[in-house]
Chain A
Amino acid sequence: MKIGIPRALLFYFYEDLWLGFFDNLGIETIVSPPSNSAIAKAGIAHSIDEACYSSKLFIGHVQWLLDSCDMVFVPRYADSGIREEYCTRIFGLYDLVRNTFPEAKVLHAEVSFLHRKKESEAFVQIGEALGFTREESLKAYKDAAATAQARKGERIAAQEELLKADGMKILLASHAYNSYDAVIGAEIIDYFERNEVKVIHSDLINTREAKKRAKDSYSDRIYWRVSSDMIGGIDKYKDQADGIVMISTFPCGPDSLFAELVIRLVKDVPVLSLVIDEHDATAGIQTRLESFIDIIEAKKKAKSLLEVEVAA
């Protein structure tokens, strides 16, 4: 028995939990490789034109896995708490996959805090479907969840260290599945690293903290987790960054509202908003990143001149 896990969308939120769970049960898993042009092409071919690029990539990853595993793991996450809903692209994934690849064997269970479908119960259900007892499944889940939480804490702490370093820092504001995807955020991160700019990630924040910050500083009515995560992350890190680069994939529902709100409300830090779609050439983006760095440097220079004047 080999379980295939698409390296896309929620994988970037739950990697440690999912892999840890199957590993604890001794179940073999295969994660699709980082996105590449063949995966993107397959995803585009099997999706409705107007679907967002991130979800097209997801479909491409599922397609890649079909011949390499016995079952594809597509759990249905509806929300992770009150006012922490996922967008419809994400919570519709199971039905989307089933209707796109009717022959595929899909391993799934539902997680919804609002509908009292606890994550632990979903994993018990999955464990039982694979022939394990309730106790074995629950233990595998609990251990994996604890490890996942500890790892996230470590990553947040590592970022805190990075913030103390000197030099230019850019806050990369996006959803984890965009920031870390090989054909979306990775090239942008590479570009900054090549130019000795440090990259701060908006997703390295505790969800509850993000929600509180988004509520206090922007709006108390946000009910999408990906949006409050992003806005909360921006609120937490923006004052320590020299600029914010926002990445959205076309056409993103949550970002169409909240990226715009951020652009309108964040006045003290320069913001560059990049919308990536399936036709994007890297050269165009590089030019925009270059000029963004130039703007930040010019701004810094002007500010230090002003400080010299004030001091004199």
Chain B
Amino acid sequence: MSQKLSHHDHNGRTHSKDNHERKIACTPTIGDYALLGDILMERLLGYETMPCPPLTKRTLELGAQNSPDMICTPFKITLGNHIEAAQAGANVFIMPGAGCRLGFYDILQKQILDDLGYPNDIISLFDYIPTTKRLFTAMQERNPELTQQQFDEVFALIIQITVDMDGLADYLRHNRAFELEAGQFESNYQAYLSEVKLAQTAGEAADIGKKYDKLLRAIPVDKPQRPIRIGILGEIYVVVEPFSNANLEQWLMDRAVEIDRPFDLTRMAIGIFNNEQQIAESGGYVNYNIGSTANDVIAQTHRMMKEGVDGVIHIKPASCSPEITAMTILQNMSQDFGIPVMYLTFDTETGEAGVHTRLEAFLDMITMKRQSADRAA
């Protein structure tokens, strides 16, 4: 990459790389996806990147203190990320810039960081309707020397990694609870992440993905014919970020539960263009787009219930509007199919212990339900 990289800051001024203002980019924590942001920043803009300070109680406190009360929880958590990262020297942040309220996070977060006295550039990757063209423009505004070809190569790499990591993680959720030797799945998955981070091309990333797919599938498991299977659905941030959901997948897998959690970045990216199909697959419960991923929540719950899942856990951040609409519909589906749905709302005050107590009661209930169904059969 060129050494004489130059870019515009948010006021439109041009700086050269050797300017005193060093660009240090930090992607907020969202599951394992921060590495995608790092690749964008490093390879398309030539920025330094720093890992986001780990999510802690303090992150939540900082985020909540500086956010409007009524805002949804992921805003508060990612603002906490930005503040802690800014305190550690970061000055460039990334937000999607499209979606529900998520599409506006960067506008208000930038203002809040400005008011707190942290100079910052928040890059909104998309705008309104997500397109690769807009992403290219957002990158080129900051690095005028970026060519379409460079962009295409890095974009292909990011897609490849996203699809592979989501595929591997999905296999993990279906099998990790039954591994014979504890920790094998996780250590292999972590090894995949650190190796794929260094891939230079989509082809290289694909090879690494294939290698680890084989390794994961070779891990010995003792999976019963019909394990207890729980579907996890809801708003994408709390679904993919374990810290924000009291680590509920881990908790369930530790108790020999198979997890059906179809939501990840891959599914979300495809889902944006798939609304009609989601409505068609909703079993007649929904006629129209009800916002964000809520239609997919309905479609996927419908699939799971038809497949005979033992229970469904619907999770969302406090005040998540589309998911509140989805809840009314899920209540009807639960009643019609006779399959229990538990609803969990997470905010910055949610304690792990309370969530785990509720999970325990839910798991007991569906286990007993299964046992009595088996006896009857």
Task: List A35-74 residues whose CB lies under 8 Å from chain B.
Answer: 47-48, 50-52
Which chain A positions have C-beta within 8 A of B115?
264
Select one of A51, A250, A253 contacting B72, CB under 8 A. Answer: A253
A172 to B39, CA, bound (A): 47
Select one of A51, A87, A223, A261 contacting B111, CB under 8 A. Answer: A261
Which chain B positions have C-beta within 8 A of A92?
288, 290-291, 294, 322, 325
Does B329 contact A99, Cβ atoms closer than 8 Å?
yes
Does B108 contact A253, Cβ atoms closer than 8 Å?
no
Q: Is B70 an interface residue (CB 8 A)?
A: yes
Does B329 contact A110, Cβ atoms closer than 8 Å?
no
A50 to B285, CA, bound (A): 21
Does B101 contact A265, Cβ atoms closer than 8 Å?
no
A219 to B103, CA, bound (A): 12
Does B111 contact A50, Cβ atoms closer than 8 Å?
no
If A251-B70, A255-B70, A275-B70 touch, whether A95 touches B111 (CB-CB below 8 Å) is no
CB distance from A272 to the nearest CB of B (A): 15
Task: List A89-107 residues whose CB lies under 8 Å from chain B.
Answer: 89, 91-92, 94-96, 98-100, 102
A252 to B68, CA, bound (A): 11
A47 to B328, CA, bound (A): 8
Give the nearest-CB partner of B275 in chain A.
A115
Which chain B positions have C-beta within 8 A of A102?
332
Task: List B315-334 residues whose CB lies under 8 Å from chain A.
Answer: 318-319, 321-322, 324-325, 327-329, 331-332
Q: Is B78 an interface residue (CB 8 A)?
A: no
Does A256 contact B68, Cβ atoms closer than 8 Å?
yes
Which chain A positions have C-beta within 8 A of B49?
none
A78, A87, A99, A264: residue with the most chain B Cβ atoms closer than 10 Å = A99
A47 to B325, CA, bound (A): 9
Q: Is A291 an interface residue (CB 8 A)?
A: no
Task: List B226-282 residues whose CB lies under 8 Å from chain A.
Answer: none
Give the nearest-CB partner of A88 in chain B.
B291
Which chain A positions have C-beta within 8 A of B324?
48, 50-51, 89
Q: Is B124 an interface residue (CB 8 A)?
A: yes
Give the nearest-CB partner of B292 in chain A.
A88
Which chain B positions have C-beta within 8 A of A265?
111
Does A222 contact B288, Cβ atoms closer than 8 Å?
no
Does B325 contact A222, Cβ atoms closer than 8 Å?
no
A261 to B332, CA, bound (A): 38
Q: Is B215 an interface residue (CB 8 A)?
A: no
Chain A interface extent, by class: 35 or more
Summed over the interface, the residue pairs from A and B with CB atoms below 8 Å come to a total of: 110
Does B108 contact A88, Cβ atoms closer than 8 Å?
no
Q: Is B16 an interface residue (CB 8 A)?
A: no
Select one of A100, A253, A264 contacting B101, CB under 8 A. Answer: A253
CB distance from A147 to the nearest CB of B (A): 28
Q: Is A139 an interface residue (CB 8 A)?
A: no
Q: Is A116 an interface residue (CB 8 A)?
A: no
Q: Is B127 an interface residue (CB 8 A)?
A: yes
Q: Is B345 an interface residue (CB 8 A)?
A: yes
Q: Is A260 an interface residue (CB 8 A)?
A: yes
Which chain B positions have C-beta within 8 A of A221?
97, 103-104, 107, 124, 127-128
Q: Is A212 an interface residue (CB 8 A)?
A: no
Does B287 contact A257, Cβ atoms closer than 8 Å?
no
If A91-B289, A95-B287 touch, whether A48 touches B104 (CB-CB below 8 Å) is no
Convert A238-282 into 0s and 1s, putting 1 for each residue whose CB lies closer than 8 angstroms to a CB of B.
000000000010111111111111001100000000010000000
Q: Identify the B interface with A (CB < 8 A).
A: 68-72, 97, 100-101, 103-104, 107-108, 111-112, 115, 124, 127-128, 285-292, 294, 318-319, 321-322, 324-325, 327-329, 331-332, 345
What are 24 A-B contacts defined by CB distance under 8 Å?
A50-B345, A52-B321, A87-B321, A88-B290, A88-B321, A89-B325, A91-B290, A92-B322, A95-B286, A98-B287, A99-B332, A219-B107, A221-B124, A221-B128, A253-B321, A256-B68, A256-B69, A256-B319, A260-B68, A261-B107, A261-B111, A264-B112, A264-B115, A265-B111
Q: What 8 pairs across the A-B complex have the smallest Cβ distances?
A: A88-B291, A256-B70, A92-B290, A251-B319, A260-B68, A92-B325, A256-B71, A251-B70
